[in-house]
Amino acid sequence: MTADAKRLIKHAKLRDSAGATIPTHPATTLRVFVTALGRLGYDTQALMTAARVSEAQLEDPDGRVLCTSIPAVICEAMRSAPVKNLGLKIAGETPLGAFKLLDYVIVTCATVGEGMRQFARYLCLSEAPFAVEIRDDEDPIRVVYLGIKDSILAEFEVGLAILHLSRETDSDFRADYVSFTHMPDDIAGIEQTLGCSVRSQAEWLGFALSREAWGLPLRRHDPVLHSVLRHNAEEIRLRLPEGDVVVAELRRILPSRLRLGDSGIGTVSQCMATSVRSLQRRLAAAGTTYYEVLESARREAADQYLSDRKLSTSEVAYLLGYSEPAAFHRAFKRWHGSTPREYRVRRFASS
């Protein structure tokens, strides 16, 4: 678990004396972890020492700290008093409002479903190193987290959403099940805390919920306040670095376009209300290309499709937008070091 913590995704904001980019994130995010761990009985001073930050830095609303700070805090906590399911335990000690505007934009919505849509749209406000896709065309509906590889972060984020939704619906909300791509330390403990079954080593990360749960009312619903908060959130979102916004939007749109078999840049740019050339320029400014983001989305979708025994590998290739199965096989071997068939055989053999 501590090894996973070292792989938290990075966000660049500072430069060192040589001009090299140094990845950072808001000090407020680190404060969420340190405060929650303090409530769990950990020595916050030792945690801050491990992260090489001061209390003044944590309290600075505009401060930034190195991205290595959260892994350092987690490693120190696990060194001093290792526990199972630490990510979920941190989520349980994180109150509503820890992420300020994002939290309140969500809970002032009318229903769980509306709140989850706002979550996916405004997640970028917290500089989260991942994206969320809402698949409300499926039954049960799925809330899918894209880009999280760290097990502690996975348990924290999924657990935080479910626990807060339960509280904001007066305990009426229940997820159908949680899906983790890793093997948690204590599945029974997670099931007891979240009140739903857990699927481990799955092809996707997130949780599924019924349409009844999707439509549950949120107890803090306030249309006037929500309108004000959403206006503020939209203004902040539009001021974010261009690369953060365009890549996040693209990652949200591509999975549904892949399922429809139409992931061409022309169609996707229309969905984003922009031109192909403008989208290409924006991505170049963000240091990436349409192909690179598409490749990442295809890889995640391929893992999901291959878990469906009804689909042949040729059909999966078509669904991912490849002109011929051979191209998909080459790409898949580049991703996983094996063919789709070999990957599928191993997958089913272990299930």
- Round to whole Å and give the CA distance between 220 and 25: 29
pLDDT at 156: 97
Q: Are residues 110 and 78 in the same domain?
A: no
Q: Residue 257 belongs to a domain with what CATH number?
A: 1.10.10.60
pLDDT at 11: 37
Strands across the sheet containing 12-15:
12-15, 21-26, 64-66
Q: Are residues 193 and 280 in the same domain?
A: no
Q: Are residues 246 and 274 in the same domain?
A: yes
Rg of the chain's alpha carbons, rounded to an integer?
21
Q: Write out the residue range of the structural domain in which residue 76 sits.
A: 2-82
119-130 residue pLDDT tens: 988 888 887 877
Closest CA to 94 of 27, 163, 43, 144: 163
The answer to the question of residue 222 being in a domain is no
- Round to whole Å and give the CA distance between 258 and 125: 26
Q: Mean pLDDT throughout 207-225? A: 97
Q: Are residues 115 and 160 in the same domain?
A: yes
Q: Mean pLDDT throughout 248-259? A: 79
Q: Are residues 78 and 116 in the same domain?
A: no
In this model, does residue 4 exceed pLDDT 80?
Answer: no
* Domain-terminating residue out of 197, 214, 231: 214
Q: Mean pLDDT throughout 82-87? A: 96
In this model, does residue 16 exceed pLDDT 70?
Answer: no
Q: Are residues 113 and 207 in the same domain?
A: yes
The answer to the question of residue 225 being in a domain is no
Whether the Cβ atoms of residue 193 and residue 88 lie closer than 8 Å to each other: yes
Q: Mean pLDDT throughout 333-346? A: 86
Q: Which residue(s) pair with 22 in the sheet?
A: 14
Domain count, the chain: 3
* Domain-terminating residue out of 51, 82, 113: 82
In this model, does residue 140 exceed pLDDT 90?
Answer: yes
pTM greater than the 0.85 cutoff:
no
The answer to the question of residue 327 being in a domain is yes
Whether the Cβ atoms of residue 181 and residue 205 lie closer than 8 Å to each other: yes
- Round to whole Å and give the CA distance between 163 and 251: 26
The answer to the question of residue 92 being in a domain is no
pLDDT at 17: 42
311-330 residue pLDDT tens: 888 888 888 888 788 989 88
Q: Are residues 116 and 209 in the same domain?
A: yes
150-180 residue pLDDT tens: 899 999 999 999 999 999 999 999 999 999 9
Q: Are residues 196 and 253 in the same domain?
A: no
The answer to the question of residue 90 being in a domain is no
First to last CA, the chain: 23
In the chain, DSSP finds a helix count (H) and a strand count (E) of: 19, 8
Which of residues 65 and 243 earns the better pLDDT score?
Answer: 65
Q: Are residues 269 and 333 in the same domain?
A: yes
Q: Are residues 201 and 249 in the same domain?
A: no
Q: Are residues 337 and 262 in the same domain?
A: yes
The answer to the question of residue 276 being in a domain is yes
Q: What is the 3-state secondary structure (H, E, C) of 25-72?
A: EEHHHHHHHHHHHHHCCCCHHHHHHHHCCCHHHHHCCCCEEECCHHHH
- Is the bond preceding 71 in cis, omega lying within 30 degrees of 0? no
102's tokens:
């994002």
The answer to the question of residue 272 being in a domain is yes
219 confidence band (pLDDT: 50, 70, 90):
very high
Whether the Cβ atoms of residue 186 and residue 84 lie closer than 8 Å to each other: yes
Q: Are residues 76 and 106 in the same domain?
A: no
The answer to the question of residue 130 being in a domain is yes
Distances 308 to 129, 251, 335 between C-alpha atoms, Å: 28, 22, 19
